[in-house]
Amino acid sequence: MSQTTEADPPITARRAQTRDRLMIAARAVFAERGIPGASVEEICEAAGFTRGAFYSNFADKSALALAMIEHRAATQYAAAQRAVDTMKAAGDRTPEQLLAIALSAFELSGSEEPRDTLLADRELLLYAARDPELRAPYLAFVNECMDQVAELIVDAVAHAGLRLTVPIDHAVQLLAAAHDHLQVLDLLEDTGTDRTAVFSSLVSAITRSV
């Protein structure tokens, strides 16, 4: 889902760089202060831009928040796609080995994310939940992303020689819930949980050999 309209200026390479810098700066500010407590001025100062640069790219803080949500979802989808590609390139393996390869690749990408990214993700979710105008587009975009992830899961499970024992929408929700909980543990700096083992157990519980 894109927020660009016919009235918006085109996304040139220079404008894309400006938007990226503003979103990176906002991530750090939101993680430290929360979105309600963060000001446009603080974001601009952190990014090294003026207010004019901000408002030429985002109508307001809510528009920035939605752009950040879209960017994070796209980043995580790309990580999932790379994990599936890694599994497919692994050659002739058992279903269990193939899934372990995919899960390890995906979890490795998640473990490399900085703490302020995880904190900002939580702030964005809470901000969307509290803002009536942001709630609907946020939910619509999340549902769109879930549909894309469902296609990846079907592809990965089939490649591993497995089949789902639950409806695909249930599988997506279960995997998303596990991923969300493990991110909370990361925020609490719980290092005693084997993330790949958790996902492997869940996948084993909802799949069977073909």
Write the pLDDT tens digit of every residue in 95-121. 989 988 998 888 888 777 889 999 999
Among the residues of 50-167, which ranges form H helices?
Answer: 51-55, 61-88, 95-111, 115-130, 132-159
Alpha-carbon gap, residue 205 to 142, rounded angstroms? 25
Q: Give the span between the Cα atoms of 144 and 167, in whole angstroms.
A: 17
Q: Are 51 and 40 in contact (CB under 8 A)?
A: yes
May I ask the CATH architecture of the domain 62-209? Orthogonal Bundle (1.10)
Q: In what helix (H) or strand (E) does residue 171 lie, and over which residues does it extend?
A: helix 168-187
Whole-number Å distance between alpha carbons of 61 and 42:
12
pTM for the whole structure: 0.83
Is the per-residue pLDDT at 1 higher than 50? no
* Confidence at 10, pLDDT banded by 50, 70, 90: low
6 has pLDDT over 50: no
Average pLDDT (182-204) is 88
Angle, CA 139 vertex, CA 134 and CA 130 arms, to 5°: 40
Q: pLDDT band for position 162 (50/70/90)?
A: very high
Residues paired with residue 53 on neighbouring β-strands, in sequence order: none
**pLDDT grade for 69, boundaries at 50, 70 and 90:** very high
Count of C-beta atoms within a 10 Å radius of residue 3: 13
Mean pLDDT, rounded, for 7-34 = 88
> How far is it, in rounded angstroms, from Cα 86 to Cα 80?
10
What is the chain's mean pLDDT, rounded? 90
Q: Is the confidence at residue 5, as pLDDT, over 50?
A: no
